[in-house]
Structure formats: structure tokens, C-alpha cells
Chains A and B, each alone.
Chain A
Amino acid sequence: MKRLAILLLTSLLATTALAVEPAEKLADPALEARARVISQGLRCLVCRNESIDESHADLAHDVRVLLRERLVAGDTNPQAVAYIVARYGDFVLLEPPVKRSTYVLWLAPPVLLALGGLGALIAMRRQAGQAGPAPLSAEEGAQLAKLMQTDTPERPA
């Protein structure tokens, strides 16, 4: 039902408004640049996975305007972001804050890489250890020789 609400809401107000509008822009280029950077990290709530900087939804426009007001009023970037998070929650942050519930998310990639790397090394070691004592069979020796032969002419060192 809420989907319907959002659908109707957005469809009624939709125009070709393409993200940031000229009228929204701040006169001060430095402030405007800061506003752009902040709004690229804030999620538009009624559109899925779009930042308010990219979105043409009405709500995104409102948040862009309010954000710029805060900056003009003298907020620092973190203060302006906190102002919006206080109303809509961490959900608006496209980069999830590092906190207890997101440790897994943030730590998984490096941990996965480390475990994978360790696993690969151990597997390589073990295979080398297993096969170490066994000498190459005659057939394998021939293979190796052939391999070296076919490989070397293409790769003059």
C-alpha cells in the first residue's frame, strides 16, 4: 500500500527536473561544491538507491534545499549531515556508518581476502609437501621437458 502511495506521490509531481536545479544552486561556489559532495552521499528516500544529488524526486529537491540552508547558516559538513540523519536515520547515509551492526559488512572484504590468501598458501604448501618426496615419474619428466621446450622459444629472456 505504501508502494502505491509513493508511486502516486512521485508520479504526480514528476517533471523532467533532472537532479540539481539551477535555482537550488548557491551563489558561493565553495559552499555549492560542499553541498554537492554531501548530497552525493545522502540517499533519496522515495527512490531506491539513488542519491539526492542524482534524483529528480520532489523530496530529494527539498532535502537538497534544506541541506544548502544549513550550510549557509554555517554548519560544518558533519553537522549538516547529522541534521538530516536526526530526521531520517542512518538509512539516508549511502555509506553505512561503522558501528556494531555494520562491523561484519566493513570487515568482511579484508577478512575474506586474508582467509582466502591464507587458504591458497596452505593448499599450495600442502600439495608441495605431499608430492615433495615422490620423484617425478618418467612420464612426468618427459612432460616437463616438452613443456619447457614448447615454452622457451616464445619467451626469449
Chain B
Amino acid sequence: MTRKLLFALPVLLFAALGTYFTLALRPNYDPQALPSVLIDKPAPGFDLAALDDGARVATPGLSGQVTVVNFFASWCVPCRVEHPILMRLAEKEKLNLVGIAYKDRPEDARRLIVQLGDPYRRIGVDREGRTGFDFGVYGVPETYVIDKTGHIRKRFVGPLSPEVALKELIPLVRALEKS
């Protein structure tokens, strides 16, 4: 009996392998999704020069408001794809959007805002990408949802699609606002 089982071992191992492969191919599974390690941890502190005036843009959360931090750059093509959705989030949903121009020159970022509109309440300039590094940004755009106590609750990597914004981002922000 054990001998028979021994000969069945390869096919059993392969069955396990096949199951994993099947799971890996399920439609909504993204092998490259990389969750932030900062989820449910305090957002990294930052203190950046604001784009429009000499004031500072600093760590959100102290205001007791839910904040959506969006890393963008004028040199990033997907950011332009995302921009109309950000505009809608700001105008229709009145989200508290804070923009961080990642590794961008202020004049370029300003040109982008003039061209496409300004969805952000504040824009900080992260010239060297340090703040991005502290957040664990590895590509722009990236969007972080920060709750009233200043903890990161979710990260969206890549441009927000209307679907993701509607089904994931807005419900999350509303829920956090109520809590």
C-alpha cells in the first residue's frame, strides 16, 4: 500500500502545483500587485515647499480629516490619463486631495496644473523624491488614503480607473469619514 502511495506521490505533488497555477490565473489576480508595508501605520512625516506659494505642505491627518495623497509628475504619461478622474473626485466628491509632485520641476508641475486643471487642495514639491521614498513609492502615479488619525489605510498603484475610484476609493473615504 505504501509502495503504491509512493508511486502516486508525483501526481499528488503535481495536483498541488496545478491548483496553484489555476489560482494564479484567476482573472482578478495580479501577480505584480505589491501592497504597501505602511498600511495601518502612521503616514511618513513630510514638510514640502508648496507649489503655488512659499508656504509648506506637511504631514496630513492632524486636521482630523481624511486625506487622499496623490503622487504625480508632469513627465508621467499615465498621470495625464488619471487626471480627469482626480478632477471629478475633487469637484463632485469634494475629496481632500493633496498632490505631491514627485521628482518634478515646479515650473513643469505648474504647467501641468494650468493645462489640465487643479484637483488638489494643496500641492507639495518633492524635488528629490525623498517623500516618495518614505512612502515606498515605486512608480507614479500612486494614491494613498490617510485616515483622520494620520494612518495610511490603502494604496493604489498606477492611474486610478473610474471603476476603482467609484467602487473602492470613494466608499473607503466615506467609511473613514464616518468613523
Contact = CB atoms under 8 A, between A and B. Distances in A.
Instruction: Classify the secondary structure of B's interface with A.
Output: loop
Interface range, B side: 20 to 34
B140 A9 contact: yes
Interface stretch (B58-66, B112-120, B131-139, B167-175): B131-139
B32 A3 contact: yes
Interface range, A side: 20 to 34
A113 interface: no
Contact of A86 (B33, B35, B37, B76): B37
Given A1-B161, A12-B77, A45-B34, A87 B139 contact: no
A89 B38 CA distance: 9
Contacts of A87: 37-38, 133-136
A71 interface: no
Contacts of A9: 76, 78, 139-140
Contacts, number: 62
Contact of B139 (A2, A66, A85, A91): A2
Q: Which of B34, B35, B134, B136 has the most CB of A within 10 A?
A: B136
A88 B76 contact: no
B157 interface: yes
Nearest to B33: A2
10 closest Cβ pairs, A-B complex = A2-B158, A89-B37, A5-B158, A45-B138, A87-B136, A5-B78, A8-B77, A1-B158, A9-B139, A88-B136
